[in-house]
Amino acid sequence: MTILGFTIILFVAAVVAGLLGSLTGLGGGVVIIPLLTLVFKVDIHYAIGTSLISVIATSSGAAAAYVREGITNIRLGMFLELATTAGAIAGAWLATYLPTSVIAILFGVVLIISAGLSFAKRADPVTTGTPGELSVKLRLNSTMPTAQGPKPYFVKNILGGFFMMNIAGVISGLLGIGSGALKVIAMDNVMRIPFKVSTTTSNFMIGVTAAASVGIYLNRGYIDPGLSMPVMLGVLGGAFVGSKLLSTAKTESLKILFALVILLLAAEMIYNGVNHHI
């Protein structure tokens, strides 16, 4: 296969990954890494580095729109980034020392958990009540735009959410995925903020989390421009198309299809990891 042919195939695959990731909320990295390692036989460290580059690109593109609409809680996102970036650096450092087979098994397990979380019924957020003392001191409470005007909400369980964000950062740095599902669960179910705010704030955060860990992969030589460029452009294009289709697409049907694909990829990653084929 020529370099041009490989680049075109990789770009098309990345578009599909970005499209599915955008429609289901799991992100394109959950497809890109198994695709590179299982199909193209790329070393998993290079696959993770490539995925992190695409995460930065897609987060930057979507976050700007959400911030402009006034949905994202920037102050909360910047506070929680202290936890995610610390975790991401630790995860990226750990990834350079763990055997590739162990990383593959961990990745497969996280894929299964992420697919399950995407179907989990989220509790209705409590947007009223007495704000926590810490959220008042840090000025994390805010409002979200609605058809009836700005609606106030309070941020609760700050320390619990901060701890979960640290775990999400470790997973992001170790496995090269945005860990958006875990971040959303933390803000939605633990910190009890509205779902729309948690998803947009998570999107705002994952690019910064990825940027914190990608420096370690770059320093170790695991960022390949020949892989990163077509994947970044493809995932970015697929995510853009997905955002346009989201309002009309049957997301439940897509989630079922995507979850089945994810489960197959997870099983393959775990199998290859156990047998030291990666």
Would you say 161 and 80 are in contact if contact means Cβ atoms under 8 Å apart?
yes
Give the Cα separation of 271 and 278 in Å (integer): 10
| pLDDT tens column, 16-67 | 877 776 666 566 677 788 888 888 888 888 988 888 888 887 777 666 767 7
| pLDDT tens column, 220-248 | 888 998 889 999 898 888 877 776 665 55
Q: pLDDT: is 127 or 256 the higher one?
A: 256
Q: What phi and psi, each to the nearest 5 degrees, are found at residue 38?
A: -85, -40
| pLDDT tens column, 91-109 | 888 888 888 888 888 888 8
- Tell me the chain's radius of gyration from C-alpha atoms: 18
Give the Cα separation of 85 and 179 in Å (integer): 12
Give the Cα separation of 137 and 80 in Å (integer): 15
Give the Cα separation of 260 and 76 in Å (integer): 34
**pLDDT band, very low/low/confident/very high, at 118 (cuts 50, 70, 90):** low
Averaged pLDDT, 191-217:
81
In this structure, the number of other CB atoms found within 10 A of the CB of residue 242 comes to 23
| pLDDT tens column, 53-91 | 888 877 776 667 677 777 788 888 889 989 988 988 998
CA distances from 125 to 41, 153, 245 (A): 43, 9, 26
**pLDDT band, very low/low/confident/very high, at 119 (cuts 50, 70, 90):** low
Tell me if residue 152 falls in helix, strand or coil.
strand
**pLDDT band, very low/low/confident/very high, at 275 (cuts 50, 70, 90):** confident
**Residue 142 is inside which H or E element, if any?**
strand 142-144
> What is the four-CA torsion angle of 140, 124, 63, 87, rounded to 10 degrees?
70
